[in-house]
Amino acid sequence: MAAAQKVAGFIGLGNMGSLMARNMVNKGYQLVVYDVSKSVTDKFVSQGGASAASSPSQLAEMCADKRANAILSMVPEGKHMREVYLGSDGVLKGGPNKDTLLLDSSTIDIDSAQLVHKEAAKKGFSFLDCPVSGAVPAAKAATLTFMVGGDKEKYELAKEVLQPMGQKFFHCGPVGAGLTAKICNNMMLAISMIGTSETLNLGIRMGLDKNLLTEILSVSSGRSWSVDTYNPVPGVKPNVPASNDYKDGFGTALITKDLGLAQHEATKSKSATPLGSISHQIYRTMCAQGYGIKDFSVIYKILSNDKQSLDD
């Protein structure tokens, strides 16, 4: 891709989106950005490599003028994504170029992605769902895994746009298939984090050193990402939320939302997910107790009954 062609729009500059967008800038992209928070948008623009739009429709217009390769979005829920693309001031109202890919990396309900795909197709636009795995550490390091749903030829074009942010890319099938893979992955993640936290709490209470137990689990049959990469015990891994008072990670409220999506799809497909259901209830209870903004690995602190530093 020629340097002059490396232009894209980016909507949603939260914990994940801001890091993803910054990696695009660092890899030579000129961005047009928008976030519902003007101060967040202004802060990103002040760091260089981007210009601000006042709405998704204006962003689409600016991208059309710059002949952008893609418009990307990273927002919390399906209702936000629908508003971004289909709202009265949405992307499709702004009229991007027909060859501008619409790439959504949000973890949302499959129905919303398929609706936007349908409406975008009516106007000649290509929409793909491109959810990610790896959380904030991978977003910082540009090593995200992208699970993509959409036309295979468009996937190859989308992959080139996504390269500055990721390391692994999978074409999962038609629109919605990327989200199916992501929802399944996050259900596994939620379940494993509870199991990891139970296991580490048990061993530590029985007198094992937390670092020794983590090292053993990391090379044994109980190994998981929750153990060796995103460990929930404070002080074991220096650059994870557990070592930062469970801040700036994957919020408990967000994984609770994702588990709700999994349960919705499980009901539709008549799939038995007993551990997914129990995990959903555990995280919903955590949200009700005020831990929604904490990283989901805070389950370890709750299980260990260590309330220190949990109350802001």
Is 95 among the domain residues? yes
Co-location of 184 and 42 in the same domain: no
Number of alpha carbons in the 13 Å side-chain half-sphere of residue 95: 1
Please say if the pLDDT value at position 95 is more than 80: no
Domain boundary among the residues 159, 174, 189 is at: 174
| φ/ψ of residue 19, rounded to 5 | -70, -40
Is 10 among the domain residues? yes
Pick 3 or 260 by higher pLDDT.
260
pLDDT in tens, 159-187: 999 999 999 999 999 999 999 999 999 99
User: Could you tell me the residue range of the domain that residue 21 belongs to?
Assistant: 3-174
Residue 218: how many CB atoms within 10 A of its CB? 14
- Span 205-210, average pLDDT: 97
Co-location of 124 and 218 in the same domain: no
Co-location of 88 and 184 in the same domain: no
Q: What is the CATH number of the domain that holds 194?
A: 1.10.1040.10
Co-location of 59 and 134 in the same domain: yes
Q: Is 267 exposed, middle or buried (0-12, 13-18, 19+ CB in 10 A)?
A: exposed
Domain count, the chain: 2
Domain boundary among the residues 153, 174, 195 is at: 174
Active site residues: 182
pLDDT grade for 99, boundaries at 50, 70 and 90: confident
Q: pLDDT at position 5, please? A: 59
Domain boundary among the residues 155, 174, 193 is at: 174
Cβ contacts of residue 47 below 8 Å, gap of 6+?
22, 25
Is 311 among the domain residues? no
Q: pLDDT at position 312, please? A: 44
Co-location of 79 and 138 in the same domain: yes
Please check whether residue 68 is in contact with residue 6, taking contact to mean a CB–CB distance below 8 angstroms.
no
Is 310 among the domain residues? no
Co-location of 221 and 170 in the same domain: no
Co-location of 138 and 260 in the same domain: no
- Span 119-145, average pLDDT: 93
Co-location of 125 and 28 in the same domain: yes
Is 38 among the domain residues? yes
In the block, residue with structure tokens 């800038």: 25
Q: Chain centroid to CA 138: how far?
A: 10
| φ/ψ of residue 159, rounded to 5 | -55, -40
pLDDT in tens, 218-263: 999 999 999 999 999 999 999 899 999 999 889 999 999 999 999 9
Please say if the pLDDT value at position 2 is more than 60: no
Please say if the pLDDT value at position 51 is more than 80: yes
Co-location of 197 and 160 in the same domain: no
Query: pTM here?
Result: 0.88
Please check whether residue 183 is in contact with residue 107, taking contact to mean a CB–CB distance below 8 angstroms.
yes
Co-location of 210 and 236 in the same domain: yes
Is 16 among the domain residues? yes
Q: What is the CATH number of the domain that holds 168?
A: 3.40.50.720
Is 278 among the domain residues? yes
Co-location of 59 and 131 in the same domain: yes
Co-location of 47 and 167 in the same domain: yes
pLDDT grade for 1, boundaries at 50, 70 and 90: very low
CA distances from 32 to 91, 103, 129 (A): 13, 14, 20
Please check whether residue 106 is in contact with residue 76, taking contact to mean a CB–CB distance below 8 angstroms.
yes
Is 312 among the domain residues? no
- Span 16-39, average pLDDT: 96
Please say if the pLDDT value at position 307 is more than 70: no
Residue 177: how many CB atoms within 10 A of its CB? 19
In the block, residue with structure tokens 């692994």: 168
Q: pLDDT at position 224, please? A: 95
Pick 3 or 203 by higher pLDDT.
203
